[in-house]
Chain A
Amino acid sequence: MSTIKILFTGVGGQGIITSGVVLGEAAILENKNAVMSEVHGLAQRGGMVNVEMKIGDAKSPLIEEGASDIVVGMEPSETYRLRKRYNRNSSIIINTNPIVPFTTSIGLGSYPDVNNLLNSFKKVYNRLYLIDADLLARKAGNPVTASIVFVGAVSGLKEMETTIRKEAVIKAIENHFPSKLLDINLKAFYLGYEITRNRDNNVV
């Protein structure tokens, strides 16, 4: 596999871009090429946000249907929405905490039962990691570090070992955050890292 393709999905405000930028900067520290797509503009807070990224010999971050190697699903229903973009053997990390949009309160659409949804994921995917990222982030000291919990979880995956070393990601985190936020972010990183490291899947 010459390139690693990572699909991030979630809701505006969850720090998706931060996760991607940290991983991309780590790739550059490792002398690897990285490309990433971002979304900006029209009222993004609370809207769907997808970020796509490739590390290795690639020019466009856009991932073809089914081809994602790693999925960072920061929100369960958003991960479900993009199910055509990854495959049976993708490494799929899903945050178990739903974000229910206000539209369901005014009768526009509805939110699925989270447990049923997650069980359905368990049935079909071989490498699934369900994590309570919000809980881990609070453990690290602040809910907003959830995006770095995911960076940790991605870094702990086997396929990342040969792509970006843990040390490079830590360096990227150090470069990225001001010193007063560094400790909680490093803590968040390790909490995520431990979840996926050396495991084939982790269903909690």
Chain B
Amino acid sequence: MDSGATKINYTFTEYTPCHGVCDLFNNLIAFATVILMSYKLIGDLKEGERYFLLTNEAIARAALESSVDVATTYPGTPSSEIGEVLNVVAEKTGLYFEYSVNEKVAFEIAMSAALSKLRAITFMKHVGVNVAMDSLMSSAYIGTDGALVIISADDPSMYSSQNEQDNRVIARFAHLPLFEPSSPQEAMDMLKEALKLSEQFHIPVMMRTTTRVSHLRGMVKPDKIGRANTSGSFKKRNMHNIPLPEFARKMKVELLDKMKRIEKEYDITKWNRIEHLNNGSSHTGIITSGSSYNYVYDVAMEYKVAADVMKIGFSYPLKTDLISSFLKEHDNVIVIEEVDPVIEDNITIIAQRNNIDKKIHGKWDGYIPMMFENGPDIVKNALSKLLNRRFDVYDVPEMDEFPEPVRPPALCPGCPHRASFYIMKSGLRQAGLYNKSIVPTDIGCYTLGVEQPYEFGDVLLSMGSSIGTANGFSQFQEYPVVPVVGDSTFFHAALPGIINAIHNNHDLLYVILDNRTTAMTGGQLSPVNEVDDAGRKYRAIDIYSTLKGIGIDHVYKIDPFDIKNGIKLFREAISEKGVRAIIFERECALITDKVEHAMGNYHLFQVNQNKCIHCMNCVERFSCPAIYKEGKIVNINPYLCDGCGACAKPIVCPPEAIEKVS
């Protein structure tokens, strides 16, 4: 999170500190510090002792232990904590850590380190790998002089992603060896091994985690930390690093040869091992990887299932002989893996090519679902079907029927986006354009604008897609087009789209919700910031002058908490033609809190029941989660209220019944 050294243009001095809840807030801060401290502690863990760590924390620790020199990322759930830890512990070993502008740049920086005889890692969420893809596809052709490991954090069941693509497919597609850890300790060991493999065969290596592994906390035994070195040496190799057709063809031959050698020479027995659970059985053979292995183990132990389990930790390229003999030695074989049938398909091919006539159960015959994450119940059902055995079930009693309230993810109390949505929705309504405008939205907290009551957002593909699709909508249909983007996403992927819109004379109003941080993933650095958590300085990039500089004549900027003028400005901008832009700039409430609370300032608003006219505007149109109604009475939950004061403006509460508590 931003340290607050970014200038805040808004003064809070008019408010007096609240005494009633200060203690509560003081301790909330102290709790936040606990978390930050524990990230720092990852650099100081004692070797040989046992710790309860998140896989992402263990990965960051492994980077220190294996003397990684360079680590780059663009934040994305479920990979973000790796960067959060490295950002505060990098100096322990002298590692160079960077939040890059997007995953492609992050990947390219890591690749350049690997070409300079350094050890590099780059990590991102699964869809982030798509952004890096263009360069990633050529990386194995060119190869490495040092080491490069790409960590892809996949998100089966889409807890915080737009799709559940299985990036193990990319390993085969791009010709990268692939590791799949199941636990924090294994992720740690595998990262170290992957770096060695990369160095030994001069090839980038991929490691795939999934949400349930990335966010699994378990026991880890750390080792000594190493020492990073950031002065590499690039060997000029006369076009060897340039995949012009003539060279690219040679590189492809070398690459396939490398993969063959890895399959043959690389000893994978440590990673693809056979476990004989409950003394094993030649009747039942289970092939599994990643998180699914954990479910298989737990279910087998719980119900005393005797089975041989081949745990695949190194899943590409698969060693043929190991698989063939496992297939031959077991009567019933099932493959249990998550998302796509990647290992299952590979094994089916191996069976076919080795004339092994055996039915392989798994996803294709419905033993395991074709989508979403696995879990103990799925594995239990599959094994029950495979073994033709009924497992005990628990006595789960029926209860009376009750309503279940919904708790969708919502913008935080005090969030500036809420005011921006209120402005835009009011502006569109006043201009008679409500429901007569197209709003391509983008990826960030503000995606939640699609929820009631704002319902602001019509289409979303990927990072930066709001402006790209807006280019098209402005041409192919009649409603005004209002694409929305946040500051970090703006720099990540929106610039070519804007240039395209200007160059082709499109007609749209680009809305930039600048909250001065990469908020959704936990408040990491954004290119608009000058200083980070650790006090490091950066050159801030100004969105207003960027837009002006590339040729947008009408660029507006306003604090979204100035709701009344915001609506006026928005109406003006929407009535114009051509490419225009409006920037709503106000920092994320979580940053404001941090800065304000550190200065001892706490604010709280409450409804003066004598003044409230029960119009319900604050509840139904502004809808801060802290405001609620009980019958006709409107109240503010003091534990949720952030004290931002946005709801107290007469444009939200006409009789000014919402008052600051002092």
Contact = CB atoms under 8 A, between A and B. Distances in A.
Given A36-B218, A101-B406, A63 B23 contact: no
B628 A102 contact: yes
Contacts of A61: 216-217
B400 interface: yes
Contacts, number: 214
A59 to B, nearest CB: 4
A33 to B, nearest CB: 6
A44 B409 CA distance: 6
A142 B216 contact: no
Given A80-B402, A102-B625, A110-B405, A59 B27 contact: no
A103 B299 CA distance: 38
B258 to A, nearest CB: 33
Given A11-B407, A36-B217, A109-B404, A87 B394 contact: yes
A36 B78 contact: no
Contact of A42 (B77, B81, B405): B77
Interface in A97-155: 100-106, 108-112, 116-117, 120-121, 123-125, 142-144
B431 interface: no
Contacts of A86: 396
A3 to B, nearest CB: 8
Given A24-B217, A62-B375, A47 B408 contact: yes
B159 interface: yes
Given A77-B405, A106-B453, A41 B159 contact: yes
Interface stretch (B29-37, B99-107, B343-351): B29-37
Given A41-B77, A111-B403, A62 B212 contact: yes
B476 interface: no
Interface residues of B, number: 77
A115 to B, nearest CB: 12
A98 B481 CA distance: 42
A interface, over-half SS? mixed
Interface residues of A, number: 74
B216 A35 contact: yes
Nearest to A45: B412
A87 B395 contact: yes
- Closest 10 CB pairs between A and B? A66-B394, A60-B294, A41-B77, A43-B409, A59-B294, A41-B160, A112-B402, A64-B376, A87-B394, A36-B217
Interface of B: 23-24, 27-28, 30-31, 33-34, 37, 50-52, 54, 77-78, 80-81, 159-160, 182-183, 212, 215-219, 291, 293-295, 297-299, 301-302, 375-377, 380, 393-400, 402-412, 445, 448, 452-453, 520-522, 619-620, 623-629, 639-640
Given A21-B217, A105-B629, 17 more contacts: A28-B52, A35-B294, A36-B216, A37-B215, A37-B216, A46-B640, A47-B409, A59-B182, A62-B376, A80-B402, A88-B397, A102-B623, A103-B406, A106-B623, A144-B24, A178-B34, A181-B30
10 contacts: A40-B77, A59-B298, A60-B291, A61-B216, A81-B404, A87-B397, A101-B625, A106-B453, A110-B405, A124-B398
